[in-house]
C-alpha cells in the first residue's frame, strides 16, 4: 500500500529558451502545474502537460488545477492506492481531464518505483538502455532561420528532424530542406491545420520521402485521416486523435494511420500509455514518444516510457538545454553525439528535483492533506 499523506500543487512559470511556434500559435513561456506527493518520508513528482490555452486539447493548466483540487486529489487521498496502475480506476468516474489525471498517476508510479527500489523504466516494463532522439522544430521567422536550426540539430546528433508546418510553411519548406539534405530522416507535424480540400496538396508531399505526416486533419478525427492515408504513400501518424486504447484500436482498424505518437499526458497516464503501446506493438504499428515542452520532471518520465520495446522511432524527447536555460532537475537531460539519451538505472526517475529552483519559480501553491488514517 502507498500511503499518500499530502498532495502539493504548484504552478511554476518558466520562460522558454527559444519561442516555439506551431500551426495553433506561439509559445514563449510556460505556466506549468507540478504535482508533489508526500508519502511516509518519500516525495514523488508529476508534471501536467496542459498548456496555458485550450489549443492542443480542451485542457489548460487552469482546468487541470481545478479538477485536481476538487475531484482527483481528494479521490487519490481517500483511495487505497496499491500502485500507479490503481489510478485509472480511482479516477474512473471523472470523464476527460486526462492531462490532470496523468500528472497524478505518473507521480504515483514515481513513488511506487522508489518504494520498490527499482528504476521507473524497469517498473514500466522498459527494455532499452538508450533511447533514440529527434527534435521538433517550430515554424521559424524565415527559411534561412530554419536551415540554421536544422544544421545545428543535425550537428548535435539528433536522428530525426520534425518540422512544424501550416499552409504557407509546408511544400516550399520541405522542398528547400530536401534540396539541402536529401537523405535525412524528416517528418512534419500539422497539428490539425489541414482540411479535405488540401488532400491533393498533401498527396504531393510523397515526393519528399517524409517518415510521416503527423496529425494533418481535425484533432478529433479518424475517418477523414483514413481517407487521406489511402491516398498517400507516406505514413500518417496520429497525435491529438489518440486519447486511449480504444482510439488506437479504431485508428489501426480503420487504417487512419501507420504510426502512433504516444504522449503520456494526452492518454491520461502511464497505464493507458502502456496499453496503447501494447496494442500498437501487437498490430505491427511503431510508436514514438511525443513531447509537450516539458520540464525535466515530465522529460524524465518520457525517457522512462520511451524505454519500452515498441518505441522504435526517434521521439521528441530531447536535451533540457533546447528548452530551458536552467532545468529544474539535476543532472539536466543530455543527448549523446549519436542522438541518444541514456535511460537512468537509478531508483525512481533517476534525476534529482531541484526544490530551491522550483520554489523560486512558483507563483501559486495549494496543499491537499489526507484524512487521519485509522491504523488497525
Ligand atoms: O504536436 O507534438 C506536438 C508542443 C506543444 C504542443 C504540441 C506539440 C508540441 C511539440 C513539442 O511538438 C515537442 C517537444 O517537446 O520538443
Ligand atoms: Mg504533434
Answer yes or no: is pLDDT of 125 > 80. Answer: yes
Torsions phi, psi of 37, nearest 5?
A: -100, 140
Assigned domain for 1 exists: no
Ligand 1 mutation target, pool 50, 137, 289, 292, most atoms within 8 A of CB = 292
Instruction: Give percent above pLDDT 70 in the chain.
Output: 99
Does ligand 1 come within 6 angstroms of the Cβ of 193? no
Does ligand 1 come within 6 angstroms of the Cβ of 316? yes
Answer yes or no: is pLDDT of 242 > 90. Answer: yes
Assigned domain for 141 exists: yes
Assigned domain for 17 exists: yes
Assigned domain for 156 exists: yes
Answer yes or no: is pLDDT of 374 > 80. Answer: no
Please give the number of the atom of ligand 1 that sits closest to the Cα of 323: 16
The domain total for the chain is 2
Question: For 354-369, what is each residue's pLDDT tens digit?
Answer: 999 999 999 999 999 9
Instruction: Check the CA dihedral 310-331-301-61 and report its sign.
Output: negative
Assigned domain for 96 exists: yes
- Could you identify the residue written with the cell 501550416? 166
User: Are 159 and 235 found together in one domain?
Assistant: yes
Give the pLDDT confidence score for residue 376 in this predicted structure.
Answer: 55
Are 291 and 322 in contact by the 8 Å Cβ rule? The answer is no
Question: Please, what is the average pLDDT of the chain?
Answer: 97
User: Are 284 and 170 found together in one domain?
Assistant: yes
Question: For 24-73, what is each residue's pLDDT tens digit?
Answer: 999 999 999 999 999 999 999 999 999 999 999 999 999 999 999 999 99
**Cell triple for 111:** 513513488
- Helices 171-180 and 143-156, axial angle in degrees (round to 10): 50
- Could you identify the residue written with the cell 520540464? 295
Give the pLDDT confidence score for residue 372 in this predicted structure.
Answer: 80
User: Are 129 and 47 found together in one domain?
Assistant: no
Assigned domain for 372 exists: no
Does ligand 1 come within 6 angstroms of the Cβ of 191? yes
Residue 212: Cβ-neighbour burial (10 angstroms; 0-12, 13-18, 19+): buried
Give the pLDDT confidence score for residue 375 in this predicted structure.
Answer: 61
Instruction: Check the CA dihedral 113-119-123-124 and report its sign.
Output: positive
Active site residue 263: yes
Q: Which regions of the chain does DSSP assign to beta strands (E)?
A: 6-22, 25-39, 42-48, 130-132, 134-137, 160-164, 186-189, 213-214, 236-238, 259-262, 287-289, 329-330, 340-342, 352-353, 362-369
User: Are 140 and 75 found together in one domain?
Assistant: no
Domain range enclosing 308: 122-352
Answer yes or no: is pLDDT of 143 > 60. Answer: yes
- At 265, which CATH number? 3.20.20.120
Question: For 194-226, what is each residue's pLDDT tens digit?
Answer: 999 999 999 999 999 999 999 999 999 999 999
Give the pLDDT confidence score for residue 10 in this predicted structure.
Answer: 98
Active site residue 230: no
Does ligand 1 come within 6 angstroms of the Cβ of 56? yes
Mean pLDDT, to the nearest integer, of 139-151? 97
Record the pTM.
Answer: 0.97
Q: Which residues pair with 287 in a beta bridge?
A: 260
Mean pLDDT, to the nearest integer, of 333-347? 98
Amino acid at each position: 500500500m502507498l500511503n499518500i499523506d499530502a498532495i502539493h500543487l504548484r504552478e511554476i512559470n518558466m520562460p522558454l529558451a527559444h519561442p516555439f511556434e506551431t500551426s495553433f500559435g506561439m509559445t514563449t513561456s510556460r505556466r506549468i502545474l507540478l504535482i508533489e506527493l508526500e508519502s511516509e518520508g518519500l516525495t514523488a513528482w508529476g508534471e501536467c502537460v496542459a498548456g496555458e490555452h485550450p489549443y492542443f486539447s480542451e485542457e489548460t493548466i487552469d482546468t487541470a488545477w481545478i479538477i485536481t483540487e476538487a475531484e482527483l486529489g481528494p479521490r487519490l487521498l481517500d483511495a487505497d492506492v496499491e500502485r500507479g496502475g490503481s489510478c485509472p480506476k480511482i479516477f474512473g468516474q471523472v470523464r476527460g481531464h486526462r492531462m490532470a489525471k496523468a500528472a497524478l498517476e505518473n507521480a504515483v508510479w514515481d513513488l511506487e518505483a522508489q518504494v520498490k527500489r527499482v528504476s521507473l523504466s524497469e517498473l514500466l516494463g522498459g527494455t532499452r538502455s538508450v533511447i533514440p532522439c529527434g527534435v521538433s522544430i517550430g515554424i521559424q521567422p524565415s527559411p534561412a532561420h530554419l536551415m540554421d536550426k536544422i544544421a545545428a540539430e543535425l550537428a548535435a546528433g539528433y536522428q530525426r528532424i520534425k518540422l512544424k508546418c501550416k499552409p504557407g510553411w509546408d511544400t516550399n519548406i520541405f522542398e528547400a530542406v530536401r534540396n539541402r539534405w536529401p537523405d535525412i530522416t524528416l517528418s512534419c507535424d500539422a497539428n490539425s491545420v489541414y482540411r479535405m480540400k488540401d488532400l491533393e496538396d498533401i498527396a504531393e508531399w510523397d515526393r519528399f520521402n517524409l517518415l510521416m505526416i503527423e496529425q494533418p486533419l481535425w484533432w478529433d478525427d479518424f475517418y477523414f485521416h483514413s481517407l487521406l492515408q489511402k491516398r498517400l504513400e507516406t505514413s500518417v501518424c496520429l497525435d491529438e486523435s489518440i486519447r486511449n486504447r480504444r482510439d488506437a484500436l479504431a485508428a489501426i482498424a480503420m487504417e487512419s494511420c501507420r504510426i502512433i505518437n504516444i504522449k503520456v499526458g494526452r492518454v491520461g497516464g502511464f497505464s493507458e500509455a502502456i496499453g496503447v503501446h501494447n496494442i500498437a506493438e501487437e498490430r505491427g504499428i511503431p510508436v514514438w514518444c511525443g513531447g509537450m515542452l516539458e520540464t525535466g520532471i515530465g522529460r524524465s518520465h518520457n525517457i522512462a516510457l520511451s524505454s519500452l520495446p515498441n518505441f522504435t522511432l526517434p521521439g521528441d524527447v530531447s536535451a533540457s538545454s533546447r528548452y530551458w536555460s536552467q532545468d529544474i532537475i539535476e543532472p539536466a537531460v543530455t543527448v549523446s553525439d549519436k542522438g541518444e539519451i541514456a535511460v537512468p538505472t537509478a531508483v525512481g526517475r533517476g534525476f534529482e528535483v531541484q526544490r530551491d529552483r522550483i520554489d523560486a519559480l512558483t507563483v501559486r501553491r495549494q496543499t491537499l492533506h489526507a484524512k487521519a488514517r485509522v491504523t488497525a
